[in-house]
Amino acid sequence: MSDPSSPTPAPSSPAPSSIAPGSIATTPIAANLLALDQVTYNADGLVASIVQDIETGAVLMMAWMNAETLQMSLEQGRTVFWSRSRSEVWRKGDTSGDRQFIREASYDCDGDTLLFKVEQEGNGACHTGNYSCFFRSFDEAPAT
């Protein structure tokens, strides 16, 4: 039984957060340095990175990271790619608003492909407005 003379405890408050109410939480991935050493980059210094929706299992897109944007992705908990066409760092969603919040990050048996399971914000991953970039099947004519 608690002492009736002790101060009434304050109602529990939510954990401090820099995230605006209603937005999706960011969770940095504490990467193991030996795991990071397993990544092998191609001749252009890039590694293929698959992004999968952790809720639906849908494969959303594939893009490329270099060592710098992989580090940024893990530290920031959001996917950050290297744009080969623009030759610049491309933090997914900064322009479109459709950010990808990383929940799990893994690398394959030979270290040359990464897999990020994310919470996808907004309209989806594809610049066409489709939720997944893989919205066209080989057994159909492409939409004109």
What are the residues binding its own copies (CB under 8 A)? 29-32, 34-36, 38, 48, 50, 52, 56-59, 61-62, 74, 104-110, 113, 115, 126-128, 130, 133-142
CB of 101 to its own copies, least distance (A): 15
Nearer to its own copies, 41 or 134 (CB): 134
Q: DSSP readout, 44-106? A: TS-EEEEEEETTT--EEEEEEE-HHHHHHHHHHTB-EEEETTTTEEEETTTTTS--EEEEEEE
Per-residue burial over 62-74, b if 16 or more Cβ lie within 10 Å, else e, is: ebbbbeebbebbb
Nearer to its own copies, 12 or 62 (CB): 62
Nearer to its own copies, 3 or 37 (CB): 37
Determine the Cα–Cα distance for residues 115 and 104; give it in Å rounded to an integer: 8
Nearer to its own copies, 24 or 126 (CB): 126
CB of 126 to its own copies, least distance (A): 5
Q: Check residue 131 and report its DSSP letter.
A: S
CB of 73 to its own copies, least distance (A): 10
Kindly report the backbone phi and psi dihedral angles of residue 3, in degrees, each rounded to the nearest multiple of 5, phi listed first. -70, 120
